[in-house]
């Protein structure tokens, strides 16, 4: 054990520490991109969208399809976000709308949607993986090579959280959304159209998922079942983040992403997986409301 | 936090932890009437939906094309084959149920199973029921069972020549990455053995990755740090595909060679495109557009969009070998067909002649080295062997001498 700890310490202190720091940042940014949409509807409306991973997957497929037809990546990502937007509006109007405050029913319904999405994509596009070649080259961090595109991912994750913070805190829509989240009946009584707010909130969340799919498509093997590969981590981060998702989700992404990358680097990849789950379980056990329970300001 | 939130938290946690266990069960009854005179019923069990369908669908296509091809050429013993096509839905529990049905059906032969776990779930069922069974995909080797024939590649037919070739190129510092289940673990121990034989050094790993892992950011600097000149990848599945992408994104692929016996199994070369340039694998056959072999012709004529995978090639060979053996034996009786297969029945497959080694019931097949061109296809580098033998199995298993042997040997 001592030897292993020494190994971990050496890793942290040497120049590879800088490299590890960057990897943690990149991993957390990826997690944050994947989480934000889910966190938004969970924190504001208590909706657990089990089809979130499939929204991301559909975003990926949109980007891959557009990209393979020669559309530049920027527009392919925009297309992916649009797919999310359309799906979000349709799904909210048809399904989610009837299931607010019915948590278990909603989970079951969205799980059904996820199964349908996976099978439809398998039938239409086949079951083998596809993808987009990673754009840009590489650069060096502390003597280690990193993909330049990962900088873009980090930048976009930060931009998205800032944008969502701005929308929720500084706009009329954000004000109404928080009102509906706190007490939808009272919000209705003072003239807020809670149905429109709900549709918009869910649409933003779905757009965010589609956007994440587009941005991450070059980094991921795109397949119909890809959602199941990351969805457990994403749910963990949302739960750990807690009610104030604008602050909590980035914190949780950094904590869990950092724990995973750090443990994987110091020991073995499996240690990272196990560590992430253990830390998530521990945090939820100690603070059932997640990291931001004490500072709930919805 | 209100009650519904709390319920959601509990529910979500429960879901997140059980997501991988979730499954739907279903059964379909499509047995062939035993009295239907001019036909021979046969059964296939493959993962055609769910996460493993990436491997299973091409094998299902190959199964249907093989049956059609055999039927169009007059069938077997003048009778048409009638296929019962079962979908295990990527769930081992379904395999057991479907295998029990098939074992008691009148099917003359059952082919199927993709993961080693599914094979080991169903192989004993067929053994016990005296129902002839074929397993048609690359695996970690070692199965020794009179009732079973293995058409896929084993480590010493595929991994060994691949690593010997690499060592001969002067690449002797190996870093091993492997999928965390029996295929990856057993193959990784083979790599250690081959490293010792070839004077190579394992400078890192084996690092094991669960199939759900899709982030390799922390592994990349470890490989870079190790000074490896060869990466031996035993990675499997769409999540692990990201390793190749993340590795290529760092530009390190220019300096380090990647060899992988599992590469191409799920059409990785198509998914990666330019990100896969230069990766080497070993198989009897890799598809290229316009190839004039019988399988590619049938595949193209059927208009199948996905490419021919190594599992599809093995499946095609297996059905044709079985059909040839039945012709030779003049009956579908298990013992007579087994004797014919052991007697050296051969099939001129898309890559060349394939036959079964009588002693081990494993295919003896041609083996070639292939390199990813970055255009979605692999190009032939060189023929490694025109009849690669299952040497490890031959050292442990002799079903002619002792037909009662029934186990899986490990290194």
Interface-testing mutation among A128, A138, A148, A217, with chain B (most B C-beta atoms within 10 A): A128
Which pLDDT score is estimated for B314?
96
CA–CA separation, B286 vs B326, rounded Å? 28
Residue of A nearest to B304 (CA): A126
Flag residues of chain A having pLDDT under 50. Answer: 1-6, 8-13, 295-298
CA–CA separation, B345 vs B328, rounded Å? 8
Which pLDDT score is estimated for B170?
92
Closest-CA residue to B207 (of B229, B232, B230): B232
SS3 content of chain B, % helix, strand, coil (to 5): 40, 20, 35
Count Cα neighbours of B336 within 13 Å in the Cβ-side half-sphere. Answer: 11
> What is the DSSP track for B226-258?
HT-SEEEEE--STTTHHHHHHHHHTTGGGT-EE
CB-CB contact of B386 with B366 (8 Å)? yes
Task: State whether B1 and A236 contact (CB < 8 Å).
Answer: no
Share of chain B above pLDDT 90, in %: 67
Which pLDDT score is estimated for A117?
94
> What is the nearest CA distance from A136 to chain B, expressed in angstroms?
8
3 state DSSP class of B105: coil
CB-CB contact of A68 with A76 (8 Å)? no
Residue of A nearest to B216 (CA): A269
3 state DSSP class of A138: strand
Residues of A in contact with B13 (CB under 8 A): 235, 239, 281, 284
pLDDT tens digits along B255-300? 899 999 999 988 889 888 888 999 999 999 999 888 888 999 999 9
Phi–psi pair at A143, nearest 5 degrees: 90, 0
Residues of A in contact with B306 (CB under 8 A): 126-128
Tokens of B78: 């003048």
Task: State whether A218 and B13 contact (CB < 8 Å).
Answer: no
Chain centroid offset of residue B81 CA: 24
Q: What is the band of B14 on the pLDDT scale with cuts at 50, 70, 90?
A: very low
Closest-CA residue to B347 (of B20, B44, B66): B66
Counting runs of H as helices and runs of E as strands, what totals does chain B give?
A: 13, 16
Tokens of A221: 């093997």
Task: State whether B249 and A138 contact (CB < 8 Å).
Answer: yes
DSSP B108: S
Residue of B nearest to A290 (CA): B9
For chain B, the average pLDDT equals 87
Looking at chain A from residue 114 to 143, which residues have their Cβ under 8 Å from any Cβ of chain B?
A: 115, 119, 122, 126-131, 133-134, 137-138
**Burial, B198: exposed, middle or buried (Cβ in 10 Å; 0-12, 13-18, 19+)?**
middle
Question: Number of A:B CB contacts under 8 A?
Answer: 193
Which pLDDT score is estimated for A156?
94
pLDDT tens digits along A40-84? 888 888 888 899 999 999 999 999 999 989 899 999 999 999 999
CA–CA separation, A206 vs B64, rounded Å? 40
pLDDT tens digits along B70-98? 999 999 999 999 999 999 988 889 999 99
Task: State whether A145 and B239 contact (CB < 8 Å).
Answer: no
Task: State whether B250 and A138 contact (CB < 8 Å).
Answer: yes
Long-range contacts of A105-112 (CB under 8 A, 24+ apart): A106/A47, A106/A48, A106/A49, A107/A48, A107/A50, A107/B8, A107/B11, A107/B12, A107/B15, A110/A48, A110/A49, A110/A50, A110/A51, A110/A52, A111/A50, A111/A51, A111/B15
Q: Answer whether A77 touches B (CB < 8 Å).
A: no
B217, B249, B305: residue with CB nearest A23: B217
> ω into residue B206 within 30 of 0, thus cis?
yes
Provide the whole-model pTM. 0.79
> What is the nearest CA distance from B253 to chain A, expressed in angstroms?
11
Which pLDDT score is estimated for A14?
56
Task: State whether B266 and A238 contact (CB < 8 Å).
Answer: no
> What is the nearest CA distance from A131 to chain B, expressed in angstroms?
5
């Amino acid at each position: 054990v001592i030897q292993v700890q020494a190994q971990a310490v050496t890793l942290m202190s040497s120049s590879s520490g800088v490299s590890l720091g960057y990897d943690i940042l990149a991993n957390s940014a990826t997690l944050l991109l994947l989480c934000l949409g889910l966190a938004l509807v969970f924190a504001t409306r208590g909706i657990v969208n089990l089809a979130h991973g499939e929204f991301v997957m559909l975003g990926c497929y949109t980007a891959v399809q557009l990209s393979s037809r020669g559309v530049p990546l920027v527009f392919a990502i925009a297309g992916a976000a649009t797919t999310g937007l359309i799906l979000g509006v349709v799904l909210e109007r048809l399904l989610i709308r009837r299931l607010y405050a019915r948590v278990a029913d909603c989970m079951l319904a969205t799980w059904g949607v996820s199964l349908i999405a996976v099978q439809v994509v398998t039938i239409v596009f086949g079951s083998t993986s596809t993808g987009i070649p990673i754009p840009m080259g590489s650069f060096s961090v502390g003597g280690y090579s990193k993909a330049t595109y990962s900088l873009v991912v980090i930048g976009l994750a930060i931009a998205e959280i800032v944008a969502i913070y701005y929308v929720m805190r500084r706009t009329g829509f954000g004000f109404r959304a928080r009102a509906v989240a706190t007490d939808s009946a009272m919000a209705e009584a003072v003239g807020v159209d809670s149905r429109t707010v709900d549709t918009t909130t869910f649409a933003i969340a779905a757009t965010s998922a589609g956007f994440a799919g587009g941005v991450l498509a070059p980094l991921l093997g795109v397949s119909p079942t890809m959602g199941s590969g990351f969805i457990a981590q994403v749910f963990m981060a949302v739960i750990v983040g807690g009610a104030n998702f604008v602050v909590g989700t980035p914190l949780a992404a950094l904590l869990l992403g950092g724990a995973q990358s750090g443990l994987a680097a110091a020991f073995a990849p499996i240690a990272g997986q196990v560590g992430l789950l253990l830390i998530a379980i521990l945090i939820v056990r100690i603070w059932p409301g997640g990291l931001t329970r004490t500072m709930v300001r919805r | 936090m209100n009650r519904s939130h709390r319920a959601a938290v509990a529910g979500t946690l429960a879901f997140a932890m059980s997501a991988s266990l979730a499954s739907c069960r279903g059964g379909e009854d499509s047995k062939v009437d035993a009295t239907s005179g001019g036909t021979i019923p046969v059964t296939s069990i493959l993962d055609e939906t769910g996460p493993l369908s990436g491997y299973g669908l091409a094998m299902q296509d190959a199964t249907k094309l093989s049956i059609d091809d055999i039927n169009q050429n007059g069938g077997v013993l003048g009778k048409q084959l009638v296929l019962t096509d079962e979908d295990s839905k990527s769930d081992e529990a379904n395999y057991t149920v479907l295998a029990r049905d098939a074992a008691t059906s009148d099917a003359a032969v059952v082919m199927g199973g993709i993961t080693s776990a599914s094979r080991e779930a169903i192989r004993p069922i067929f053994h016990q029921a005296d129902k002839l069974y074929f397993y048609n995909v690359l695996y970690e080797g070692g199965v020794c069972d009179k009732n079973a024939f293995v058409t896929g590649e084993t480590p010493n037919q595929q991994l060994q020549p691949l690593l010997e070739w690499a060592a001969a190129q002067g690449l002797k510092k190996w870093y091993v990455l492997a999928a965390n289940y029996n295929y990856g673990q057993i193959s990784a121990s083979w790599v250690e053995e081959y490293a010792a034989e070839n004077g190579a050094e394992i400078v890192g790993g084996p690092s094991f990755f669960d199939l759900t892992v899709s982030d390799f950011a922390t592994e990349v600097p470890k490989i870079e740090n190790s000074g490896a000149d060869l990466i031996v990848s035993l990675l499997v599945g769409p999540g692990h595909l990201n390793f190749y992408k993340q590795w290529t994104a760092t530009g390190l692929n220019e300096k380090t060679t990647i060899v992988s016996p599992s590469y191409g199994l799920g059409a990785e070369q198509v998914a990666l495109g330019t990100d896969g340039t230069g990766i080497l694998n070993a198989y009897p056959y890799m598809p290229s557009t316009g190839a004039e072999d019988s399988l590619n012709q049938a595949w193209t004529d059927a208009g199948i969009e996905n490419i021919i995978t190594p599992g599809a090639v093995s499946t095609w060979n297996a059905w044709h070998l079985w059909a040839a053996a039945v012709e030779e034996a003049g009956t579908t009786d298990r013992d007579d067909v087994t004797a014919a297969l052991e007697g050296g029945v051969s099939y001129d497959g898309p890559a060349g002649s394939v036959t079964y080694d009588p002693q081990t019931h494993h295919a003896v097949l041609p083996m070639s080295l292939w390199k990813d061109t970055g255009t979605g296809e692999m190009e032939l580098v060189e023929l490694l062997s025109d009849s690669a033998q299952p040497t490890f199995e031959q050292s442990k298993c002799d079903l002619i001498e002792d037909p009662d042997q029934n186990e899986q040997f490990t290194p």
